[in-house]
Structure 1
Amino acid sequence: MTTDAPSATLYRMVMPGHICPYGLKSKDLLERQGYAVEDHHLKTREETDAFKNEHGVETTPQTFINGERIGGYDALRVHFELDPPKAEQSDTSYQPVIAIFSVAALLALGLSWSHEGTLLSLRAFEWFISLSMVILAVQKLQDLESFSTMFLNYDLLAQRWVRYGKLYPFGEALAGILMTAGALIWLAAPVALVIGGIGAVSVFKAVYIEKRELKCACVGGSSNVPLGFVSLTENVMMVGMALWMGARYLAS
């Protein structure tokens, strides 16, 4: 460490059976910000509890800079202006949606390059939509109970037939997989058309007619994505894909 670097003091749990991940993240952040870290390990539960009582804190890690207690990892990020203060932080995030569509797009381009010999092809666009459907379904299936509960807030069919909330992700996954494979389109297209059509009408009614502020279940039951354009786009994509592939199937 260079002697002219600003210094910080960090207290974090480093026990035989547990190393605090936020302590490691705090140390890494401080070092990336150019600080020489005086790293104090709290090696037992008793030592940790004594530290908390001494400083009147409920959690570790704790960082001190120039004798001033900054706090834990989240507070450290705010201190370095990497995040806004908690009071100014939005409770919504589009990060899961961006990640899903980005990965689906890259997968579609990779498949197109492998099978069509070019990145940009009509099949690449079809794969992008079908793979997006599959990945979105996987997100929902991670916690089916939580998804179905959130889904009941706005889906018109689920409100009349509660079990539909638990069937929806399986239908979306089935349609997406079959469309990716280009198989059994006679089954995939109607499934996507029905669930996408009902979903689009439900979202439009809840958001644009009733003006309700709800969380979207499109990426799972723990989502912080607001119901609106993203969910409507998901359902419209399914309807469009169903009509397109259904028409191609009938014409063949």
Structure 2
Amino acid sequence: MTHTYNITGMTCTGCLAKVQGLLQQVPNIEKVDISLAEGTADITMKKHVSTADLQQALATYPKYQLSEAEPHHHAMSINDDTENRTWLQTYKPILLIFGYLLAASLIAGYSSAFNIMTMMRVFMSGFFLVFSFFKLLDIGGFADSYSMYDVVAKRWRGWGYIYVFVELGLGLAFALNIAPVAVNTIMVIVMTISLIGVLQSVFNKRQIRCACLGAVFNLPMSTVTIIEDGLMILMGVVMLGLM
């Protein structure tokens, strides 16, 4: 059975992720679809869960208030906008970023006789600088979204804040070519830990947002996220092998 509720207090996708995570922890809840624009939630249950129990799940965050919607009201799923878009439209932001990074890497390679180490270093520097930039636009929202699936952030939300600056530091270190062995080792470890949470979410078919571009874009968790993290790990391993 699916019931619709009104939820107030949500101001960003980070809030959405937090509310969704709290409600999904309630026993007998199968799925929570939230529309940030409408301030509503469609909650699918194995068996009926009282409104009081749902409200209790949000009690630790009093700014979020849940109430029953009118019976005839229909809320749009948080995934409606992505389901109505093509694959290309959904992943356009990431594809554009990777296109720019690839172009920058080729330009850098052209000026260095296409040295593979230089090209990968430029790509990885741009990757971490760009992705940390989008996360910094709403670091709180990113931390909330990241805590939905990352194996470390789920246990300690503060890791979401630290992770942003780890990415920023890696981007600067790659740009300046500082301690390449140490930097690549740290990067491989950090990205591998991140990939574990991504794999768990994708294989369990959890309908959550990918936090790779922070809370700015509505990107679903998918195999694209696996490829993104896997590519960075592979490049780091290759660079370590060539040193």
Alignment TM-score, normalising by the size of structure 2: 0.59
CA distance in 2, matches of 1:87, 1:237: 24
Q: CA separation of 1:222/1:87 partners in 2, compared to 1, >3 Å: closer, same or farther?
A: closer
**Alignment check: 8 A CA contact 1:154 1:206 kept:** yes
What one-letter code is carried by the residue in structure 1 that aligns with 2:219? V
**Alignment check: 8 A CA contact 1:148 1:221 kept:** no
Residue 156 of structure 1 deviates from its aligned partner by 0.8
**Alignment check: 8 A CA contact 2:174 2:180 kept:** yes
Aligned to 2:199: 204
Moved over 4 A (4+): none
Aligned to 2:20: none
Q: Any gaps of 5 or more consecutive residues in structure 2? A: 1-80
CA distance in 2, matches of 1:156, 1:95: 27
What one-letter code is carried by the residue in structure 2 that aligns with 1:240? L
Q: CA separation of 1:87/1:182 partners in 2, compared to 1, >3 Å: closer, same or farther?
A: closer
Residue 122 of structure 1 deviates from its aligned partner by 4.9
**Alignment check: 8 A CA contact 1:174 1:188 kept:** no
Q: How does 1:178-193 map to 2 (within 5 A)?
A: 178-193=173-188
Residue 204 of structure 1 deviates from its aligned partner by 0.5
**Alignment check: 8 A CA contact 2:144 2:157 kept:** no
Q: 1:225 aligns with which of 195, 219, 234?
A: 219
Residue 157 of structure 1 deviates from its aligned partner by 0.5
Aligned to 2:60: none
Q: 1:104 aligns with which of 98, 101, 105?
A: 101
Residue 198 of structure 1 deviates from its aligned partner by 0.9
Residue 87 of structure 1 deviates from its aligned partner by 11
What one-letter code is carried by the residue in structure 2 that aligns with 1:165? G
What do residues 88-145 of structure 1 show as CA deviations (whole Å, max 9, x unaligned)? Answer: 843972121012111111111222223x145x84532442233222211211112111
Q: Secondary structure of 1:189's partner? A: helix
2:132 maps to 1:140? no
Percent of aligned pairs sharing the same letter: 24
CA distance in 2, matches of 1:181, 1:244: 19
CA distance in 2, matches of 1:155, 1:194: 14
**Alignment check: 8 A CA contact 2:117 2:239 kept:** no
CA distance in 1, matches of 2:162, 2:82: 38
**Alignment check: 8 A CA contact 1:133 1:173 kept:** yes
What one-letter code is carried by the residue in structure 2 that aligns with 1:247? G
CA distance in 2, matches of 1:113, 1:247: 23
2:155 maps to 1:157? no
**Alignment check: 8 A CA contact 1:188 1:242 kept:** no
Residue 230 of structure 1 deviates from its aligned partner by 2.5
What do residues 49-86 of structure 1 show as CA deviations (whole Å, max 9, x unaligned)? Answer: xxxxxxxxxxxxxxxxxxxxxxxxxxxxxxxxxxxxx8
Number of equivalenced pairs: 161
What one-letter code is carried by the residue in structure 1 that aligns with 2:107? G
Residue 196 of structure 1 deviates from its aligned partner by 0.4
What one-letter code is carried by the residue in structure 2 that aligns with 1:227? M
Q: 2:190 aligns with which of 195, 207, 218?
A: 195
Over alpha carbons, which structure has the higher Rg? 1
What one-letter code is carried by the residue in structure 2 that aligns with 1:112? G
**Alignment check: 8 A CA contact 1:158 1:164 kept:** yes
Q: Any gaps of 5 or more consecutive residues in structure 1? A: 1-85
2:226 maps to 1:241? no
**Alignment check: 8 A CA contact 1:192 1:242 kept:** yes
